[in-house]
Amino acid sequence: MRFEFATAGRILFGEGTLRDVAPAASAMGRRALLVTGKSTERASALMAGLKASGLAAAPFAVAGEPTIALIRSGAEYARGERCDLVIAMGGGSAIDCGKALAAMLGNPGDPLDYLEVIGAGRPLLDPSAAFIAIPTTAGTGSEVTRNAVLASPDEQVKASLRSAGMLPRLAVIDPELTYGLPRPITASTGLDALTQLIEPYVSVRANPMTDQFSVEGIRRAAVALPRVWDNGADRAARADMSWASLLGGLSLANAGLGAVHGFAAPIGGMFPAPHGAVCAAVLPHAMAINVRALRQRAPESDALRRYEEVARLVTGSAHAMAEDGVRWIAELCRRLEVPPLRTYGVDDSHIPLLVEKAAKASSMKGNPIVLDAEELREIVTRAM
C-alpha cells in the first residue's frame, strides 16, 4: 500500500460553525478580502463578526464563474487594499475565485504565468496568502481541493491553477448555509457531489483512504439527495449532502476524476452552462459507456467490481450489478429534472470538437478505461 493524501489545514463542520470564522480569521491576518457570490447579503453577519474581531474586510462580489481577467483585476484590488488574508463564502465559483486570488497574492506575476493548458504552467512556488473557504452549496467540495478553475472566454476553455500550496488554511462547512438553495441548484450541485464521489472511486488513482470517503459519501448522498429535492427544509438530509460534498472534495483532490469531468471542462468553456448541471447531464451516460467498455475489454478489472459496489451502495441491494447502478443514477437524474445539454446550446455540430477536447482533458486521465473517440461521441450524443 502506498499513497499520498493532503487536505485543508483545518476543517470545521456543523450547523452554526459560520460563527467560528471570525475568531479563527483574526489569528491569520489583519485585512481580509471577502469574496462572495453576487449577493453580499448572506455575508453580512460574517462581515460584522470580522469587524468585531478587529479585522478590516474589503468586499469582492463575483457574478459568475471566475475568468482570468477577473483574477487579474481582483489581485490588483486586493494588493491595493493591502489584504493579507482571503475569505471566500459562496458556491464553487466564489471559492475558486478566492482560492485563485490567495494564490496570486502569495506569488508574483500574472495568472497566465501559472495556468495549466492555456498558460505557461509554471509552478506556484510560494504558498498562497492565508485562505478560508466557506461553501454555501453542497456540491463542489472546492473547500478541500488544491485547484481553482478559471474560464478563458477568448479561448472558450477552462483551465486550472493548481498547487498543494492552494489548499485552504481553514474550511468551514456549515450546512445551515444550504437551507435556502433553490431546487435546480440543489439538484445540479448535489449530482456534482455524487459524480465527485463515484469518479474518484473508480479512478485509476483511487487509494485506500479516498475509497473510505467515497463509499461513505455515495451511501449518504444516494439517500439524502432525493430527500433534499423533495423537501429543501429537511435539515438532516441537508447536513448529509454537505458531508457528502466534503467527502467528494477529499476524494477527488487525492484520487482524480474521469470522463464526466473530462467533458465538463470543454462544455463549460464553450457554453454558458453551470458546472454541476453539465456533470448531472453527462453522469448516467458516461457511467453506462464505461461499464460497457469494461465488460467488453476488461471483464476481470477491479473497476468493474467497483461499479458493482457503487450499484449496491445506491440501490441498497446486495445483489445489484454494475448496470443496475447505471439505471438507478439515470432514474435519479430524471426525477431531479436534469436538463439535457441541448438546453445550453450544444448540438451535433459541436460533437467533434468536444470529443477532441474531452480526450485531452486532465480529468480524463483518471477514467478507469481508455475510451475511444466513438465511445466519447456516444456519451455526449446521449447527454444532448
Q: All 3 cell numbers of residue 325?
A: 447502478
What residue type is assigned to position 209 of the chain?
Answer: M
29 or 168: CB nearest Zn ion? 168
**Nearest to Zn ion of 57, 283 (CB atom):** 283
Q: Which is nearer to Zn ion, 143 or 192 (CB)?
A: 192
DSSP for residue 67: B
Within 8 A by CB and 6+ apart from 212, the residues are none
CB nearer to Zn ion: pick between 46 and 206: 206
Residue 106 C-beta: closest distance to Zn ion, Å: 25
Nearer to Zn ion, 192 or 308 (CB): 192
Question: Can you tell me the distance from the alpha carbon of 65 to that of 188, in angstroms, rounded to the nearest whole number?
Answer: 15
Assess contact for 52 and 19: CB atoms under 8 A. no
Q: How far is the CB of 92 from Zn ion (least distance, A)?
A: 8
- 173 beta partners: 13
Q: Which is nearer to Zn ion, 192 or 324 (CB)?
A: 192
- Rounded to a whole number of angstroms, the minimum distance from the CB of residue 52 to Zn ion is 36
Q: Where are the alpha helices (DSSP H) in 207-348?
A: 208-230, 235-255, 259-270, 275-297, 302-315, 322-335
Minimum CB distance to Zn ion, residue 59 (Å): 27
Could you please report the per-residue DSSP string of 33-56? EEEE-S--GGGHHHHHHHHHTT-E
We find the least distance from the C-beta atom of residue 282 to Zn ion, in angstroms, to be 10
Task: For Zn ion, give the closer residue by CB, 192 or 378.
Answer: 192
Cβ-based nearer residue to Zn ion, 18 or 193? 193
CB of 301 to Zn ion, least distance (A): 24
In angstroms, the Cα distances linking 75 to 35, 86, 101, 267 are: 12, 11, 6, 27
Which cell numbers in the block locate residue 3?
499513497
> Contact positions toward Zn ion, by CB under 5 A?
192
**Cell numbers placing 76:** 490588483
Residue of 45, 34, 177, 138 whose CA lies nearest to 94: 34
Kindly give, in sequence order, each residue whose CB lies less than 8 Å from that of residue 383, ignoring residues fewer than 6 positions away: 263, 281, 282, 285, 340, 341
Closest approach of Zn ion to the CB of residue 191, in Å: 9
Which residue sits closest to Zn ion, CB atoms considered? 192
* Cell numbers standing for residue 310: 457503487
- Determine the residue type at 221: A
Rounded to a whole number of angstroms, the minimum distance from the CB of residue 196 to Zn ion is 5
Q: What Rg, from alpha-carbon coordinates, does the chain have?
A: 20
